[in-house]
Structure 1
Amino acid sequence: MILRSHSTRISSKEQIENSSTVIRRVIFYRFQGDPSSTSPPKATLAPQAQHPDSTFIVRTDAPWRKEARKAGLGWTAKASSTPVMCQKRPVHHVSSALLAEGLAAREALLFCRDRGMDRIHLELDSSQLIKVIQQEEPIIEIHGVLADILHFSKSLFVFFSCSWIPRNLNLVADSLSKEALCMGEDVIAFT
């Protein structure tokens, strides 16, 4: 339960409804643009490169809480002709931030596989994970997760690429992952 203005209480259900509304608005403005604005949006969905038709742009993020060894995974998938698909989930027993980012990428690729998506461009704000994936660089810390990502990228998809994006273009996945990190926790906020 959250306390607001010293005496007004917000139930957990209201809190969830409010956060869902915020996420829906962020998604709408991120991918559709502000309807009151006449100028085109400044950021495009895939600023780095041109991709084959019907390629899904998949963005992931994963904040990590060291003390709790917990991470929140969040990802979005969007092709030019489809609505944005969003997912989130918390995971426990995560030993590092890099592992959390790798788990988010792996879960997003499994999500794509389960929905029959076969052209994927993965965008991450973790330059370290991008380097590891692109160079197929073995790192003991994420060995199993990296092996899965590389296997999926070579065997499940007709087209696969990945690139780094700045955090300010990854706001939806960032919001989802932070919400997932807080799932199941009691929160008290004083305003």
Structure 2
Amino acid sequence: MKIDNVCGVCNSFNETENHLFFRYEISHVFWFCSPLHLNSHVLEGSDFLESWSKFCAQVKDRDNADEIRQDFAFGLWRLWKNRNEVVFNVIHRQPLEILEAWTKSITEYRVSMARDSAEYSPRLSKTIKDTGNTCGKWQKPRYGIIKINTDTAWCKSTMRMGVGWLGRDFARLFQVAGGSGIGFCHSAAAAKALAIREALLACIDHGFDDIVIESDAKMIILMLKKEVVTDFSIECILGDIEVLAQKLRSVSFAFVPREGNRAAYSVAKYAFKEGRSFTWDCIGPDFLFNFLAKDVNIFFRL
């Protein structure tokens, strides 16, 4: 190989090395100067998942952890966009320019989400509301309303889940119940949301137009009511729930403590164990009797 070729290879290598170093320093300055004030050196991992886990561990106890994770995700996306500009268009931007673009993207996204919420508000103000049930026991709904309790049984190691739901009327009479134990889910929160979605689908199939859906997943209920920032990992499921809610005349979502949701959990647990799907109309399964009896203060047990 000629000496000039060797020098050309060396120069090319040095340019690549300098380019990578420049990109690394840009990333570090970007995170450090951002509103998150992150030290990217601390977040370094062998791969993305390890770095993401380190970041989530740092913010998990913050009150606005979901919003911080959202900001971080937008920052990663902005750095990737900047990388593509450097590689494909040879455009080098300064950290402050990238920060401005990042802030603009976040602002536009949240304004858009707020606008969407405002567009839905006439309908959602009627259909998605809090019933105010804060006591531990199951409470009967108003006349003409079917109350649907939902819950899930989820295994973290296998990610397998069972969802369950059951409906009772204002007279506390059992109307319908169902469950499925054939699904898989990445988190307990997503499984709780899927249980609500399955319950809504069942209500549409059974022709229930005026319903209350209860769940012991308080954060999911708050997300549906737009009182907290939506977790991006389950926003698709929550979006499905909102769309399904529009197909019914009246839908209320409410939090219920676990003590008042034991009947739904028993259905989810049964579906999880059997690994099949079930639906019961009017006459429920034997294993449900004791839970339903306890909810209405009947002391007789099977």
Share of identical aligned residues, percent?
28
Q: Any conservation in 1 of the 2:138–2:261 contact (CA below 8 Å)?
A: no
CA offset digits 1:133-191 (Å, max 9, x no partner): 111743221122100111122x2111111111111111111111111122249xxxxxx
In structure 1, the partner of 2:139 is 45
Aligned to 1:144: 236
2:262 is the alignment partner of 1:176: no
Q: In structure 2, what is the Cα distance between the partners aligned to 1:168 and 1:64?
A: 18
CA contact (8 A) 1:119 1:157 kept: yes
Distance in 1 of aligned mates of 2:175 and 2:206: 13
Equivalence for 2:159: 69
Match of 2:208 among 106, 110, 117: 117
Cα distance in 1, alignment partners of residues 266 and 243 from structure 2: 28
Q: Which runs of 4+ in 1 moved over 2 A?
A: 42-46, 80-84, 136-139
Structure (1 or 2) with the greater strand fraction: 1
Q: Which amino acid aligns with 1:147?
A: G
1:60 is matched with: 150
The normalised TM-score by structure 1 is 0.66
Distance change >3 Å, CA 43–CA 65, structure 1 → 2: closer
Matching residue of 2:170: 80
Match for residue 133 of structure 1 among 224, 234, 247: 224
Q: Is there any run of 5+ residues in structure 2 with no aligned partner, and where?
A: 1-135, 277-302
Structure 1: gaps (5+ residues): 1-41, 186-191
**Structure 2 residue corresponding to 1:162, chosen from 253, 258, 277:** 253
SS of the residue 2:179 aligns to:
strand
Deviation at 1:44, TM superposition (A): 4.9
RMSD of aligned Cα (Å): 2.1
SS at match of 1:117: coil
| Greater relative contact order structure (CA < 8 Å, 6+ sep) | 1
**Aligned-partner residue type, residue 258 of structure 2:** R
Aligned-pair CA distance for 1:114: 0.4
- Map Cα deviations across residues 81-123 of structure 1 (whole Å, 9 max, x no partner): 5533111111433000011001100000000000111001111
Q: Counterpart of 2:139 in structure 1: which amino acid?
A: L
> Larger % of helix: which?
2
The alpha carbon displacement at 1:80 in A equals 2.4
User: Deviations along 1:26-53, whole A, 9 cap, x unmatched?
Assistant: xxxxxxxxxxxxxxxx94533xxx64x3
Q: Residue type matched to 1:80 in 2?
A: F
Aligned equivalents of 2:177 and 2:272: distance in 1?
15
After superposing the two structures, state which structure 1 stretch, 103-112 or 87-96, moved more.
87-96
Q: Which has the larger radius of gyration?
A: 2
